[in-house]
Amino acid sequence: MYKEPQIEANLRPCDPDSRFSILIPSWNNLPYLKLCIHSIEKNSSFKHQIIIHVNEGVDSTLQWVKNSNYSYTYSKENVGVCYALNAMSALVQTNYVLYVNDDMYLAKKWDQYLLEEIALQDNNLFYFSATMVEFEGGANKAILAPFDFGRTHDTFDETAFLLFAEKQLKSDWFGSCWPPSLVHKEIWDKVHGYDVNYSPGFYSDPDFAMKLWEIGVREFKGIGRSLVYHFKCKSTGRVIRNNGRKTFAKKWGVPSSFLFKEMLLMGQSYDQNIKLSKPNGFKILLAKCKAWYIAKI
């Protein structure tokens, strides 16, 4: 458990027409943070409140943010994403909380497609994610990869990516569980944001999804048209990792893989006729046995 950090908060006025409050934690990553905010300002269809958390900020991030018009929170040390997100959420002035990593570039109309999805809902029990585009391939079908538009901020081909995003017809998918992620402020407050027991943050995303599940959220949907380019920065390589896999298993009694594969159907094409549910019988028994083992090792 981390010691409660000292965090400074600075609320700036936002446009009264702002739709989302965008929370961006950043740790000495100024070139990527600038590019991320540039994409929001350039490619959004609507106005949004931008809130930044500056971890340390010794690379001039703090001074740059202070000179901007964005609301921000600041900690002298790196407090990770959980404390950062919770601190920023206290400054939210809209009905929707959107978590974005600073190493992401948001494509045109990313917000329009999310808002169109919100308009189809009968209530606030949803958790949406935009779809990531990455330069390296992998097994996760929810991610568009490999599509290499640059591996660093200074090699990024913005024009080529925007043309790609304009033509891309990725289908919606099950299993929303990571940023860019969107929930209603009422839902965020109901589950008290992110669990700081996962600090600095590994496995905090599936934990947040599980907390939403526990209060009745069943619409975990990735929006195929809402695209972001993810640089996969190496910030995580600079921090001592928490054993989030173990924390998750002890807290929930099932491994995170059970949440992803069996409950959220992560990466499968979205089908409105399929209702997400928690398996029982042998599958849940096996999951509990796996969680017990993970918690013990």
Question: Domain boundaries in the chain?
Answer: 8-242
pLDDT at 297: 82
Confidence of residue 236 (pLDDT cuts 50, 70, 90): low
- The whole-number average pLDDT for the span 129-136 is 96
d(C-alpha 9, C-alpha 23), whole Å: 13
pLDDT at 139: 82
**Start-end of H helices in the chain:** 30-43, 61-66, 80-89, 110-119, 158-167, 185-190, 204-214, 244-252, 256-258, 282-296
Backbone angles phi, psi at 42, to 5 degrees: -85, -40
Which residues is 105 bridged to in the sheet? 229
DSSP of 109-178, one letter per residue? Answer: THHHHHHHHHHT-SSS-EEEEEEEEESS--S-TTSB-S--S-SSGGG--HHHHHHHHHH--PPPEE---S
CA-based angle 257:259:261, to the nearest 5? 65
Collect all residues with Cβ–Cβ distance below 8 Å to 187 and sequence separation of at least 6. 124, 125, 127, 212, 215, 217
Residue 2 has pLDDT above 60, yes or no: no
Residue 234 has pLDDT above 80, yes or no: no
Collect all residues with Cβ–Cβ distance below 8 Å to 208 and sequence separation of at least 6. 191, 193, 194, 195
Q: What is the pLDDT of residues 41-99, one digit of tens each?
A: 999 999 999 999 999 999 999 999 999 999 999 999 999 999 999 999 999 999 999 99
Would you state the structure tokens that stand for residue 257, as one six-digit string?
A: 């893989």
- The whole-number average pLDDT for the span 217-235 is 93
CB 39 within 8 A of CB 105: yes
Q: What is the pLDDT of residues 184-208, one digit of tens each?
A: 999 999 999 999 999 998 999 999 9
The 3-class secondary structure across 207-222, one letter per residue, is HHHHHHHHCCCCEEEE
d(C-alpha 73, C-alpha 111), whole Å: 24
Mean pLDDT across the chain: 95
Give the closest residue to 87 by CA, choosing from 220, 192, 170, 207.
192
Give the closest residue to 9 by CA, choosing from 39, 49, 54, 44.
54
Q: What distance lies between CA 150 and its chain's CA centroid?
A: 21
Confidence of residue 137 (pLDDT cuts 50, 70, 90): confident
Residue 221 has pLDDT above 90, yes or no: yes
Whether the link from the prior residue into 16 is cis, omega within 30° of 0, is no
- Whose tokens are 């740059």? That residue is 64
Residue 295 has pLDDT above 80, yes or no: yes
Residue 241 has pLDDT above 90, yes or no: no
Name the CATH topology of 8-242: Spore Coat Polysaccharide Biosynthesis Protein SpsA; Chain A (3.90.550)
Q: What is the pLDDT of residues 163-183, one digit of tens each?
A: 999 998 899 999 999 999 999
